[in-house]
Amino acid sequence: MEELLVERIGRVAWLTLNRPERLNALTTALIRRLETAVEELTSDTEVRVLVLRGAGRAFCAGYDLDWGTALESETQAREGWDPVRDYLGMSRNVAAFMSLWRSPKPVIAAVHGWCVGGGTDLVLCADLTVVAEDAQIGYPPARVWGSPTTALWAYRIGLERAKRLLLTGDPVDGRTAERIGLASAAVAAERVQDEARALAERLALLPSNQLAMMKLLVNQAVENMGLATTQMLGTVFDGIARHTPEGVAWRERARTAGLRTALAERDGPFGDYGARRR
């Protein structure tokens, strides 16, 4: 089964993460395929806007940790941890996510269900987000075994809110995402696709050259703030976070007791912050 589906409808291209049985968890193959598809669509003069969505019950559950924890454990046992190799490998993924940012064509993320961990990199690198009101967006690996590699949180939602999310790993729902500026619109889950389509078609009314200039103008303001340096630090920290004593212990717990158990033990003490606030 194709892990990424691409469909062109008029001036809009739809990219669908297609691993629904794994909640569209990211693998190296899927990340590379996404990057290739964005490059191809960038060269397609008939396409003006891209929409990224997920098949099934969620947008993206982050990296496929069943695969990732086992692979890292095996590699480290065989070869040890090479920080530079780790950094170069993760930087390759950052470059793939940033293909959404660097494409001169606007990218809309249509988010439903869970969007966590590496899945948030896709949303942060997109230009606009339409989100289901009950969606959950966050970076729980901030609690252990991760650091956001695209490092766009502070640029997208500001210092206070970025720290609030990354110092707890708590998610926000779609309504909150809209309120704090992480999403353009929060709608009922059944309306997400229609809302994204309407927004994409509205953007596609502009000439391609105008779309490119407006996107580049806004993105350049963020890049002038030092985005490249922040991303380098975030990617280095990600490798370190996975190899602290706590990170290695959590990885081995996931490998031996199962990912569900390790996640429950990591996240259980935090409870449901949203429920407490309600």
CATH number of the domain encompassing residue 258: 3.90.226.10
Region 231-241: what's the mean pLDDT? Answer: 98
pLDDT computed for residue 66 by the predictor: 87
Cα–Cα distance measured from residue 101 to residue 119, given in angstroms and rounded to the nearest whole number: 15
pLDDT digits (tens, 9 = 90+) for 180-217: 999 999 999 999 999 999 999 999 999 999 999 999 99
Task: Output the six-digit token pair for 2.
Answer: 């194709």
Which residues, in sequence order, are bridge partners of residue 126? none
Mean pLDDT of the chain: 96
Number of domains in the chain: 1
Nearest-Å Rg of the Cα atoms of the chain is 18
pLDDT computed for residue 276 by the predictor: 61
pLDDT computed for residue 71 by the predictor: 82
Cα–Cα distance measured from residue 69 to residue 278, given in angstroms and rounded to the nearest whole number: 35
Domain, as residue range, for 81: 4-277
pLDDT digits (tens, 9 = 90+) for 125-149: 999 999 999 999 999 999 999 999 9
Give the position of tokens 């935090």.
270
Asked if residue 278 has pLDDT above 80, the reply is no
For residue 267, with 0-12 CB atoms within 10 Å meaning exposed, 13-18 middle and 19 or more buried, which class applies?
A: middle
Asked if residue 248 has pLDDT above 90, the reply is yes
pLDDT digits (tens, 9 = 90+) for 51-60: 999 999 999 9
Cα–Cα distance measured from residue 197 to residue 128, given in angstroms and rounded to the nearest whole number: 12
% pLDDT > 70, the chain: 98
Higher pLDDT, 272 or 36: 36
Asked if residue 274 has pLDDT above 80, the reply is no
